[in-house]
Structure 1
Amino acid sequence: MKKSYLILFLLPFLILSCTDEKDYVPIRSEPLQGVLNLPDVPYNYNEQLPAYFYVNDNGPVPSAVNGIDNTPQDNLITNDGATLGRVLFYDKNLSQNRTTACGSCHRAEKSFADSSPFSHGLFGGATKRNSMTLINTRFYKRGRFFYDERAATLEKQVMMPILDHTEMALTLNDIIPRISAQPYYSKLFIAAFGSDVVTNERIEQALSQFIRSMVSYSARYDTGRAQVANMRDPFSNFTAEENRGKDLFLKSFADGGVNCYACHTTEAFVSHNSGPSNNGLDAVTTTDSGAYGFYTSAPELAGAFKIPTLRNIALTGPYMHDARFTSLVQVIEHYNSGVQNHASLSPVLKGPDGMPRQLNLSDADKLALLRFLNTLTDPTIMSDPRWFDPFINQHL
Structure 2
Amino acid sequence: MKIKFYLLLSVFVIMVSCQNEKDEYIPTDQVILSNVFGSKIDLNNLESYQNNNIPSYIRFSNRGNAIENDKATLGRILFYDTKLSTNNSISCASCHQQEHAFSDTNVASTGVNGMTSRHSMRLVNVGFQPGTNFFWNERVNSLESQVTEPIKDHAEMGFSGENGAPTFNDLLLKLSDTDYYQVLFNHIYGDPLITEERLQECLSQFVLSIQSFDSRYDDGLLATGNPGPAFPNYNMSENRGKFLFTTTPVNGGAGCVSCHVPPEFAIKNNIHNNGVIATIADPNVFDHDNTRSPSLRDLENPEGFINGPLMHNGSFNTLLEMVEHYNSIDMTNQQLLDPLLFDSVGPNGPIGQQLQLSESDKTALINFLKTLTGNDIYTNPKWSDPFVN
Q: How does 1:67-216 map to 2 (within 5 A)?
A: 69-71=62-64, 75-123=65-113, 125-170=114-159, 171-216=167-212
In the alignment, structure 1 residue 365 sits paired with structure 2 residue 373: no
The aligned counterpart of 2:299 is 313
Distance 1:253 1:143, change over 3 A: same
8 Å CA contact 1:145–1:157 kept in 2: the answer is yes
In the alignment, structure 1 residue 280 sits paired with structure 2 residue 275: yes
Q: Distance in 2 between matches of 1:368 and 1:204?
A: 41
Distance 1:283 1:86, change over 3 A: closer
8 Å CA contact 1:263–1:307 kept in 2: the answer is no
The aligned counterpart of 2:16 is none
Secondary structure at the aligned position of 2:144 is classed as helix
Q: Distance in 2 between matches of 1:199 and 1:21?
A: 21
Letter in 2 for 1:376: L
The aligned counterpart of 2:162 is none
Secondary structure at the aligned position of 1:242 is classed as helix
Identity of aligned residues (%): 38
In the alignment, structure 1 residue 350 sits paired with structure 2 residue 342: yes
8 Å CA contact 1:23–1:36 kept in 2: the answer is no
Secondary structure at the aligned position of 1:355 is classed as strand
The aligned counterpart of 1:44 is 48
Q: After the TM superposition, list the runs of 4 or more consecutive aligned residues in structure 1 that deviate by more than 6 angstroms.
A: none
Distance 1:49 1:289, change over 3 A: same
Give 1:283 shift: 9.7
Q: Distance in 2 between matches of 1:349 and 1:45?
A: 39
Q: Distance in 2 between matches of 1:118 and 1:137?
A: 21
Tell me how large the CA RMSD over aligned residues is: 2.4
C-alpha offsets along residues 166-196 of structure 1, whole Å, 9 cap, x if unaligned?
A: 1111221112112111111233223433332
Q: Distance in 2 between matches of 1:21 and 1:85?
A: 18
How does the TM-score come out when normalised to structure 1? 0.81
Q: How does 1:231-270 map to 2 (within 5 A)?
A: 231-270=227-266
C-alpha offsets along residues 295-336 of structure 1, whole Å, 9 cap, x if unaligned?
A: xxxxxxxxx431321010124320111111111111111111
Aligned positions, number: 342
C-alpha offsets along residues 343-383 of structure 1, whole Å, 9 cap, x if unaligned?
A: 42111111134411111111100000110011111111111
Distance 1:136 1:288, change over 3 A: farther
Q: Distance in 1 between matches of 2:82 and 2:278?
A: 41
Give 1:197 shift: 1.9
Q: Could you say which structure has the higher strand fraction?
A: 2
Give the greater-gyration-radius structure (CA). Answer: 2
Q: Which runs of 5+ in 2 are unaligned?
A: 1-24, 160-166, 301-305
8 Å CA contact 1:146–1:306 kept in 2: the answer is yes
8 Å CA contact 1:175–1:200 kept in 2: the answer is no
The aligned counterpart of 2:12 is none
Q: Distance in 1 between matches of 2:83 and 2:293?
A: 32
Give 1:340 shift: 2.8
Q: Distance in 1 between matches of 2:125 and 2:268?
A: 12
Give 1:286 shift: 5.2
Q: Distance in 2 between matches of 1:203 and 1:44?
A: 20
In the alignment, structure 1 residue 289 sits paired with structure 2 residue 287: yes
8 Å CA contact 2:84–2:90 kept in 1: the answer is yes
Q: Which runs of 5+ in 1 are unaligned?
A: 1-16, 28-32, 54-63, 292-303
Distance 1:322 1:190, change over 3 A: same
The aligned counterpart of 1:384 is 380
How does the TM-score come out when normalised to structure 2? 0.82
Give 1:20 shift: 9.4
Secondary structure at the aligned position of 1:22 is classed as helix
